[in-house]
Amino acid sequence: MNREPDWSLWRSFAAVIENGSLSGAARALKSSQPTVGRHVELLEDQLGVQLFERSLSGLKPNETALKLYGPIARAKGELAEATMMAEGAQDDTGGTVRITASTMISNYVLPEILYTIRMLHPRIALEIVPTDAAGNILMREADIAVRMFRPTQLELVTKHLGDIPVVPIAHHRYLARRGRPTKAEELWKHDLLGFDRSDAIILHAQKLGFPLTRDNFIIRSDDQPHLWEAIRAGLGIGFGQANLARQTPGLEILPIDLAIPPLPIWLTTHRELFTSHRIRAIYDALAERLSAYMQG
């Protein structure tokens, strides 16, 4: 080995393995693909070993790379925890808090809540990450997460804020044109809006005894905000949060009990960050405002 490699080289190495490609690693690191590629080559040169097999399909980690990845991944976790401990010890209420939530919560629920939070804490900047994927708080992808499932890691502080009913919804414009279904047998004959690749709605309908298929959806998308806007445009009947439907002009909840499981809302942060005045202030404000939304 020529010399001990810089940590930035190891970060790029780990990112390539975790994301499966140079381009994926570059996106994760907010860097460029050529930079990540140079880091990998420089790391191999300094270690004196080849770590990846090159092909037209990209880089494939060899056995040596996979052995090295274990301790590097653990080191990343330790460094992330050290950063959290340092931030948790800060007394300054200024700074930035990064919040991740589902695309629906981020786009349709958080904006009003964030307005109130900004009035209360004007020195705290907020970064919002709308995603339906489960970001990793332990690896500092976010400071606070609004989850639709219960986190299980012991290192996390979690609070169950309640459950949001999921119901069939349509716009008055659609109902005026196509009529108002009053039972499930009638519902499936309407213009339905549903997922493209996910079969969650189909499986639930089949569990209720209705042979629903993908072809029953006249609009298909896995982007939930798009489906919500399609409902608002009067394109058909969709499924969504009862609380949000009640607050949206023109939308009507159809009185059909489909026994759809409600969405649990969990507020989560790392226990080391919970001692930070900045994180705690935003966490508590989110808990209060989200709870109020769920009661509306």
pLDDT digits (tens, 9 = 90+) for 247-265: 999 999 999 999 999 999 9
Query: Which pLDDT belongs to residue 241?
Result: 95
Report how far apart, in Å, the C-alpha atoms of 274 and of each of 123, 202, 265 are: 18, 40, 19
Among residues 60, 88, 116, which one ends one of the domains?
A: 88
SS3 222: coil
Residue from 235, 231, 238, 217 nearest 177 by CA: 235
CA 106 to chain centre: 9
Tally of CB atoms within 10 A around 50: 11
Using an 8 Å Cβ cutoff, are 224 and 124 in contact? no
Residues in the chain, overall count? 296
Say if residue 286 is in the same domain as residue 157. yes
Q: Write the single-letter amino acid at 9.
A: L
* Alpha carbons 226 and 220: distance in angstroms, whole number: 10
pLDDT digits (tens, 9 = 90+) for 131-180: 887 755 545 678 999 988 887 765 788 899 999 999 999 999 999 999 99
* Alpha carbons 239 and 227: distance in angstroms, whole number: 9
Query: Which pLDDT belongs to residue 79?
Result: 78
DSSP class per residue in 263-274:
EEEEEEEETTGG
Say if residue 110 is in the same domain as residue 244. no
Query: Which pLDDT belongs to residue 219?
Result: 96
* Alpha carbons 129 and 196: distance in angstroms, whole number: 23
Say if residue 288 is in the same domain as residue 210. no
Query: Which pLDDT belongs to residue 91?
Result: 46
pLDDT < 50 stretches in the chain: 91, 138
Domain span at residue 275 reads 95-162+263-295
Say if residue 15 is in the same domain as residue 55. yes
* CATH number of residue 289's parent domain: 3.40.190.10
